[in-house]
């Protein structure tokens, strides 16, 4: 659904800086907008345009798309932290362009936020958004969104390990057993494990409870959506409307 905005307002909502900076970009002729008839350069700060999700626009020669809310998929590489203030490793947010990190928000936080965290050595599917309801929907254990992990262990595993994980294991800080929603061996040292909650270091601690050390961990799927093979580690892309619908479908 289209909504009218001035060109500086459009840029501001998409994270291109303060309103003054956005107005300056427009006045310098550095902004082009395509409302369906090709890119047109705007230099008047009071010019109104009808914006809609997916609408192309260009800033300083770089092509973007307008999005009311940001929904992003990243292939998290190893050696990165899901924190704005990392302690020892580079932040995953440093892999995103500045506008995604600067999108304005009504709360104190700005920019997209990771939907849950992955350890610095864990790779795979990471969702980021500035939609608080979406973040809660994806991360809250109340919604039971399944997350599929592929892992490798230092020592060989057997079906007894699978049985323990499905029946439930006790972690050192929680008296209630934690169960895997699904679990299967792919070879003697590898496993696919599905969880519907996200406790701290949960996969590693669950395997440790069975006497095994995880040496490699990769998140391959969230809900009905898989990471796929077309996104290299460290890269990101916008979610499609179909992918967003699949993610938010009730389980």
State whether CATH 3.30.950.10 applies to domain 146-222. no
What is the reported pLDDT for 251? 53
State mean pLDDT over 31-40.
86
What percent of the chain stands above pLDDT 90? 77
Active site (annotated) includes residue 131: no
State mean pLDDT over 111-132.
94
Give tens-digit pLDDT for 174-223.
788 999 999 999 999 999 999 998 788 899 999 999 999 999 999 999 99
> Between these two residues, 184 and 2, which has the higher pLDDT value?
184
What is the reported pLDDT for 144? 85
Which residue intervals of the chain bear CATH 3.30.70.1560? 146-222
Q: For the chain, give the mean pLDDT.
A: 92
What is the reported pLDDT for 105? 82
Catalytic residue among 34, 46, 50, 119: 119
- Whether the predicted pLDDT of 112 surpasses 90: yes
- Whether the predicted pLDDT of 1 surpasses 70: no
Task: Name the CATH superfamily for 3-65.
Answer: RNA-binding S4 domain (3.10.290.10)
DSSP assignment of 172-234:
TTEEEEE--SEEEEEETTEEEEEESS--TTHHHHHHHHTT--EEEEEEEEETTEE--SSS-TT
Residues 6+ apart with CB under 8 A from 154: 189, 212, 213, 215
State whether CATH 3.40.50.300 applies to domain 71-139+234-248. no
H helical segments located in the chain? 7-13, 19-27, 98-102, 132-139, 159-167, 202-209, 241-248
* pLDDT range class, residue 35, cuts 50, 70, 90: confident
């Amino acid at each position: 659904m289209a909504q009218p905005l001035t060109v500086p307002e459009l840029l501001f909502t998409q994270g291109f800086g303060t309103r003054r900076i956005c107005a300056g970009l427009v006045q310098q002729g550095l902004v082009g907008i395509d409302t369906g008839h090709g890119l047109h350069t705007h230099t008047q700060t009071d010019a109104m345009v009808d914006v809609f999700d997916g609408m192309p626009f260009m800033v300083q020669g770089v092509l973007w798309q307008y999005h009311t809310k940001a929904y992003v998929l990243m292939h998290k590489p190893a050696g990165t932290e899901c924190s704005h203030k990392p302690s020892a490793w580079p932040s995953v947010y440093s892999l995103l362009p500045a506008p995604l990190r600067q999108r304005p928000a009504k709360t104190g936080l700005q920019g997209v936020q990771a939907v849950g965290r992955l350890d610095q050595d864990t790779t795979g599917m990471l969702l980021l958004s500035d939609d608080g309801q979406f973040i809660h929907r994806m991360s809250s254990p109340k919604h039971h969104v399944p997350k599929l992990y592929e892992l490798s262990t230092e020592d060989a595993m057997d079906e007894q390990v699978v049985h323990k994980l499905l029946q439930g294991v006790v972690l050192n800080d929680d008296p209630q057993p934690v169960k895997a929603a699904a679990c299967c061996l792919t070879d003697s040292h590898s496993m696919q494990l599905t969880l519907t909650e996200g406790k701290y270091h949960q996969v590693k601690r669950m395997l440790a409870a069975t006497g095994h050390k995880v040496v490699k961990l990769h998140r391959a799927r969230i809900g009905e959506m898989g990471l796929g093979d077309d996104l290299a580690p460290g890269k990101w892309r916008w979610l499609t409307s179909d992918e967003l619908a699949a993610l938010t479908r009730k389980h």
